[in-house]
Amino acid sequence: MLPFVKKRFLQSAELCQKFKIDFMLQKINSFIKIFFSIKIKFKKPKSSKIVLFHADGKELLNKYIKEKIVILDPLKEIYFIVLLKSLLDFSFKNLLLNYNKNFILMTNPRFVFTYIDNDLKFYFLKNFFKNTTFVAIQNGYRGTINDKKYKKNFIDSMECFNSLVPKVEKLNCDFILTFNKAISARYKKFINTKTIVIGSIKNNSIKKKKCISKRTLSFIPTISINKHFAKKIYFSNKEFTLSLNDWLLAEKKIIPFLAEFCKKNDLKFQIIPKGNGKYEKNFYKNLIKEKSSCTILNKQKPLQAYEMVDKSNYLVSIGSSLAYEALSRKKKVAFLAIKKDILKKKGFKLDFRQLDFGWPSKFKKKGYFWTHQDDLKEFERVLNFITKVSDQKWLKIVNNFRNDFNIPYNINNSMFTNFLKNLNINIYEKNYQ
């Protein structure tokens, strides 16, 4: 091997090894934080008609469901008596599954809901409780990459169901409430379930307001950023280690372009952050030469991002859930879905199909308001279209878009409350239409 080739090879190997060590340390650190944050409860969990698997979404469900909801979330709180019974069953290999089963046995619910539809563990439970109704509610747009070793509990890439679930084990759920027909079909491919399209329950809960702003363009990120992002590993397997810096290459190209585009076209440029931390704000500010040319908005309350969307004339994203929800609100949205193109150019040979615009629906590489091409001319074409198209033409385009892709904007979640009523779950009538 030539000396300079050997040197480069050794450097690459050392860098890859460093990334893997950093990744392991991140996991250990996360485990320690979770372990010491868990609350221990010594009382027995109360019987309840409804159990919510994971605490996420309880506040939203309480807006519609007029029933007591008990939380099953062993990563946040553990009932000692449930844990003790699970240990006495001598099933140490499947302790978490055993804990979940025993909790449900003790609370004896008629319904088990989850708002974390990408948690694989939820779909094993139905096998043990044939007379209990299990319901999953989609909380975000599914489409990224997964590593079966490190992300075996939460599924962002539904293709990983095949690699993570043995063929002898079945995934079951009575109902999955989804964003659109394409996602429904995808879930039914891997899970024995019925699906009902209701759109986004969060999006539907916020009434659409008329935009009174003038010439405002907002970028919607796909990921939140903390102080450790420079060292963070986004994905790792035997062949590839993809850092968060790699994952953010698309943002690093798009943000400077948008700042210049807005300056040239007399538009106010702002960013609706994924989180609300200073590191995320600093990350975006540092991508722009003229710091004053961009405003990073502050979210003061839950679901305020939807109000920020309504106050924007134009929106741009790589492919966030909020951007698809904005499209369902008939907002003018540009999708610069270029992550796949950038990462493939960088040599990552992974399955990036789920990063395409509108996945799992299949679209061409470019259309009126989207592109998959890492090309500044393409960015310009798409941005020129959404900022110049008339309201009438825009509505005609989105209203006549393919049926399997459309996400309904179901004001006040009337489809969801209808579903609850059909299950004989008491609801707050003021929220029922």
Q: Render 286-300 in DSSP notation, one character per residue.
A: TT-SSGGGEEE----
Residue 155, domain CATH: 3.40.50
Do 213 and 196 reside in the same domain of the chain?
Answer: no
List b or e across 391-406, with b for residues whose CB sees 16 or more CB atoms inside 10 angstroms.
eeebeeebeebeebbb
Q: Kindly state whether residues 195 and 252 are assigned to the same domain.
A: no
Q: What is the mean pLDDT of each run of 10 residues along the chain (433 residues)?
A: 48 51 50 63 93 95 95 93 86 82 96 94 94 96 52 48 52 96 91 96 94 91 79 72 85 95 95 86 87 85 93 96 96 96 86 87 94 97 97 95 91 95 91 47
Closest alpha carbon to 190 in 166, 159, 168, 153: 159
CA geometry: angle 148, 144, 378, nearest 5 deg: 150
Q: Please check whether residues 236 and 128 belong to one and the same domain.
A: no
Whole-model pTM?
0.85
Would you say residue 425 lies in a domain? no
d(CA 308, CA 326): 10
Handedness of CA 338, 341, 342, 348 (dihedral sign): positive
Residues 152 and 244 in one domain: no
Spatial strand order of the sheet with 111-114 comes to: 69-72, 50-53, 111-114, 133-137, 172-178, 192-197
Same domain, 149 and 195: yes
Q: What pLDDT sits at residue 9?
A: 46
The answer to whether the beta carbons of residues 250 and 336 sit under 8 Å apart is yes
Same domain, 228 and 161: no
End-to-end CA distance of the chain: 73
pLDDT value, residue 28: 46
Instruction: Give me the residue label for tokens 């009174």.
Output: 212
- Is the same domain home to 319 and 360? yes
For residues 150 and 172, membership in a common domain is answered with: yes
Which element (helix H / strand E) includes 202? helix 201-205
Out of 143, 175, 204, pick the residue that ends a domain: 204
Residue 412 domain-assigned (yes or no): no
Residue 326 and residue 232 in one domain:
yes
Domain annotation covers residue 21: no
Return the residue matching tokens 């009126």: 368
Q: Residue 244: which CATH number?
A: 3.40.50.2000
- Which tokens sit at 301? 């309350």
SS3 90: coil
Q: DSSP letter string over 79-114?
A: EHHHHHHHHHTT--TTHHHHHHHHHHHHH--SEEEE
Predicted pLDDT of residue 180: 95
Q: Please say which residue of 204, 223, 257 terminates a domain.
A: 204
- For residue 386 the two structure tokens come to 């959404």
Question: Taken in order 349, 350, 355, 360, is the CA torsion positive or negative?
Answer: positive
Query: Do 140 and 246 fall into the same domain?
Result: no
Structural domain contains residue 271? yes
- Does residue 296 form part of some domain? yes
What gap in Å lies between CA 174 and CA 155, rounded to an integer? Answer: 19
CB 431 within 8 A of CB 63: yes
Query: Residues near 14 by Cβ (< 8 Å), separated by ≥ 6?
Result: none
Residue 227's domain comprises 209-407
Tell whether 163 and 250 lie within a shared domain.
no
Q: Is 20 contained in some domain?
A: no
Total domains in the chain come to 2
Q: How many CA atoms lie within 13 A of 209 on its CB side?
A: 14
Whether 58 is in a domain gets the answer yes
Same domain, 107 and 157: yes
Q: Which two tokens stand for residue 52?
A: 């919510």
Longest dimension (CA), the chain: 76
Q: Does residue 421 form part of some domain?
A: no
| Paired strand residues for 233 | 243
235, HSE (Cβ side, Cα atoms, 13 Å): 19
Domain end, chosen from 204, 232, 262, is at: 204
Rounded CA-CA distance 241/186 in Å is 27
pLDDT at 387: 97
206 exposure class (CB count in 10 Å sphere: 0-12, 13-18, 19+): buried
